[in-house]
């Protein structure tokens, strides 16, 4: 029976490589880069499209024939990335400036886009910011006075999506919000609007990051309820190597151990990082459940709270609040408060479906 511990360890590694959405999730699926159906005639916006998961989503959808707007803050890096594509794919990509930490940049992007395009078929709310493994040093505010992880990953996207609704309502459109299994690492109270602007006494970088991802998950559910004509999907794109959770400069032993375990042992290759998002963007609408959350590749993730995920982040595996009915209005109120004016014009006002 000496082999039993080794067998148990191997089984655990294999299980986690799928549970977290890593290399095994890719192996279990037949969906590959050449599986993306034609997206010709479709207009797609991918935020944070100049690196990581966003970049691989851009190249996959552009290669499938979509007109892809690569929206990013680092415009020069976006242009440099596009130049690495084959000419016939590169011509399908347009780089546009978008800084999700700055309201005026979001408003300007929305205006420029709608001046040029009459319809938006797929909006991928992909950009995100992780200040994990930085402890209290990770607390930082955006120019608008919002905590960065929630401000960029959720509130900036919330404003962008609301402003782009006029071109999403023309039919056969979808919104994909990048969430994560890390949504289970939020505070036990789930969403805490006070922590969006003021540092709570129990601030924890991983909990704040988890809250941002939980907010995106709940946002997609509420958006689907309010906009039944738009297909709204939350997405866990997978655990992907070389993503921004890690901070190699000055990384401690815990972070190096976590990096090796999560990304080297369980994670998928960087090149596969866009597969799950591309699947959601291109799969026939009748095969998808509006308001649901999906994980790699093409499987519905039916639960939010996850004791195993919390344990993996050295958190007590206690039940976490997974609903927050006032998220929509709280997000709208804090954006308008920080902007000092109403950024949501009447033509983007939404009435819940009866």
For 256-284, the pLDDT digits (tens) are 777 777 778 888 999 999 999 999 999 99
Least confident of 92-106, 143-157, 239-253, 301-315: 239-253
Q: Output the pLDDT for position 266.
A: 86
Average pLDDT over residues 203-232: 96
Say yes or no to pLDDT of 2 above 70.
no
CATH classification of 30-238+268-339, choosing from 3.40.47.10, 3.40.50.970, 3.30.56.10, 3.40.50.720?
A: 3.40.50.720
Average pLDDT over residues 180-198: 94
User: pLDDT-derived band of residue 251, with 50, 70 and 90 as boundaries?
Assistant: low
Least confident of 5-14, 83-92, 196-205: 5-14
Least confident of 2-6, 206-210, 225-229: 2-6
Residue 202 is given by DSSP the state T
Q: Output the pLDDT for position 297.
A: 96
Q: Output the pLDDT for position 8.
A: 67
User: pLDDT-derived band of residue 123, with 50, 70 and 90 as boundaries?
Assistant: very high
Q: Output the pLDDT for position 74.
A: 95
Domain locations in the chain as residue ranges: 30-238+268-339
Q: Output the pLDDT for position 352.
A: 47
Say yes or no to pLDDT of 237 above 60.
yes
Q: What is the percent of the chain with per-residue pLDDT over 70, rounded to a whole number? A: 91
Which contiguous run of DSSP H or E holds residue 58? helix 52-63
Please confirm, yes or no, whether 209 is among the known catalytic residues: yes
Q: Output the pLDDT for position 247.
A: 58
What's the mean per-residue pLDDT of the chain?
90
pLDDT: is 207 or 171 the higher one?
207
Q: Which residue has the tokens 């949504």?
A: 183
Q: Output the pLDDT for position 4.
A: 67
Helix (H, G, I), strand (E, B) or coil at 344: coil
Least confident of 56-60, 162-166, 246-250: 246-250
Say yes or no to pLDDT of 307 above 80.
no
Q: Output the pLDDT for position 354.
A: 35
Q: For 143-154, what is each residue's pLDDT tens digit?
A: 999 999 999 999
Helices (H), 131-252: 148-150, 157-168, 205-226
Say yes or no to pLDDT of 163 above 80.
yes
User: pLDDT-derived band of residue 215, with 50, 70 and 90 as boundaries?
Assistant: very high
Contacts of 49 (CB under 8 A, 6+ apart): 55, 57, 58, 68, 69, 70, 71, 72, 78, 126
Residue 235 is given by DSSP the state E
Q: Output the pLDDT for position 14.
A: 83
Q: Output the pLDDT for position 351.
A: 47
Say yes or no to pLDDT of 183 above 80.
yes
The active-site residue, picked from 158, 187, 209, 294, is: 209
Q: In whole angstroms, what separates CA 266 from the centre of its chain?
A: 20
In what side-by-side order are the strands of the sheet with 231-235?
Answer: 93-97, 67-72, 43-47, 122-125, 174-178, 231-235, 293-295, 299-300
Q: What's the length of the chain? A: 354
Q: For 63-122, what is each residue's pLDDT tens digit?
A: 999 999 999 999 999 999 999 999 999 999 999 999 999 999 999 999 999 999 999 999
d(CA 169, CA 230): 7
Helix (H, G, I), strand (E, B) or coil at 236: coil
């Amino acid at each position: 029976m000496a082999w039993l511990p080794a067998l148990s360890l191997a089984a655990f590694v294999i299980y986690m490589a799928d549970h977290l959405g890593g290399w095994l999730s890719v192996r279990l699926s037949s969906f590959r880069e050449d599986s993306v159906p034609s997206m010709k005639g479709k207009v797609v916006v991918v935020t944070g499209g100049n690196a990581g998961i966003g970049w691989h989503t851009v190249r996959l959808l552009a290669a499938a024939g979509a007109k892809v707007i690569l929206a990013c803050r680092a415009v020069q890096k976006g242009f440099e990335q596009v130049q690495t594509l084959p000419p016939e794919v590169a011509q399908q990509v347009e780089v546009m400036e978008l800084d999700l930490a700055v309201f005026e940049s979001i408003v300007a992007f929305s205006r420029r886009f709608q001046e040029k395009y009459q319809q938006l078929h797929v909006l991928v709310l992909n950009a995100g910011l992780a200040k994990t493994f930085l402890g209290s040093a990770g607390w930082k505010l955006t120019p608008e006075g919002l905590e960065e992880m929630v401000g960029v990953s959720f509130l900036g996207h919330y404003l962008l999506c609301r402003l782009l609704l006029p071109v999403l309502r023309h039919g056969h459109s979808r919104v994909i919000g990048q969430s994560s299994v890390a949504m289970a690492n939020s505070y036990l109270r789930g969403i805490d609007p006070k922590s969006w602007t003021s540092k709570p006494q129990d601030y924890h970088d991983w909990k704040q990051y988890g809250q941002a991802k939980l907010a995106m998950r709940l946002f997609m559910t509420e958006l689907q309820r309010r906009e039944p004509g738009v297909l709204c999907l939350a997405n866990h794109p997978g655990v992907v190597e070389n993503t921004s959770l890690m901070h190699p400069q000055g990384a401690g032993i815990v972070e190096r151990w976590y990096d090796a375990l999560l990304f080297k042992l369980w994670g998928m290759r960087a090149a596969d990082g866009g597969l799950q998002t591309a699947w959601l963007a291109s799969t026939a609408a009748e095969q998808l459940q509006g308001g649901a959350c999906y994980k790699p590749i093409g499987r519905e993730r039916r639960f939010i709270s996850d004791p195993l995920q919390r344990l993996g982040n050295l958190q007590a595996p206690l039940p976490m609040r997974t609903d927050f009915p006032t998220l929509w209005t709280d997000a709208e109120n804090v954006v308008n408060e920080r902007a000092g004016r109403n950024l949501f014009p009447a033509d983007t006002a939404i009435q819940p479906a009866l």
